[in-house]
Amino acid sequence: MEAVIAGWLVGYVMAIASTVTLTFLVSRMRDGALLSRWFSPDVPGALLAVPISVGTTVGWTMIGVLLGSLYEVGQFERRKDVLGSPSGLFTLIIFALAWFPLPPLVVFVRRYWGVWLAMSTLFLVLFGWLMPRLASG
């Protein structure tokens, strides 16, 4: 049960980081055709943070609960530890998940490659290292 709660917690932290990042990106891309189709130009960019926050909170906490459940059911806490993480295999799986979206994001939106790299690294640290540490402690 600790792994599920730890997954929810790191999912919530990821949601906060995603809210900040997506609000930044929406404010930078305010004149784009995609956003103008969904939102009126009269709506302040900061107000868009509310639906972004709700969406990321629901999404990331659900992902966190799913990954925490996977960690618990797969008994990853019994695996060999690597680099301070209680489960090297789980960290490797999270590493693969963290870097999987990077190539298409960098190809299609190259301008924000640093944002994509930072978010993938945060995902790796939170779910691959912190969540197993919280679940085992």
- pLDDT tens per residue across span 122-137: 999 999 999 998 988 7
Q: What is the pLDDT of residue 17?
A: 96
CA distance 23 to 117: 17
Q: How far apart are CA 59 and CA 57, in angstroms?
A: 6
Compute how many other C-beta atoms are within 10 angstroms of the C-beta atom of residue 134: 18
Q: Which of 132, 133, 104 is nearest to 120 (CA)?
A: 104
At 57, the pLDDT band (50, 70, 90 cuts) reads very high
pLDDT digits (tens, 9 = 90+) for 4-54: 999 999 999 999 999 999 888 887 776 666 666 777 777 776 777 888 899
Which pair of structure tokens corresponds to residue 40? 């009126």
Phi/psi at 82 (5° precision):
-140, 130
* Residue 29 DSSP class: T
Cα(87)–Cα(120) distance, rounded to whole angstroms? 19
Provide the residue ranges of all domains of the chain, joining segments of one domain with +.
2-136
Helix 2-28 vs helix 49-73: angle between axes, to the nearest 10 degrees? 150
Tell me the average pLDDT of the chain: 87
The tokens for 134 are 């919280």
The token pair at 22 is 């997506």
pLDDT confidence tier of residue 110, bands split at 50, 70 and 90:
confident
Give the DSSP per-residue string, 69-112. HHHHHTTGGGSPPBTTBS-HHHHHHHHHHHHTTHHHHHHH-GGG
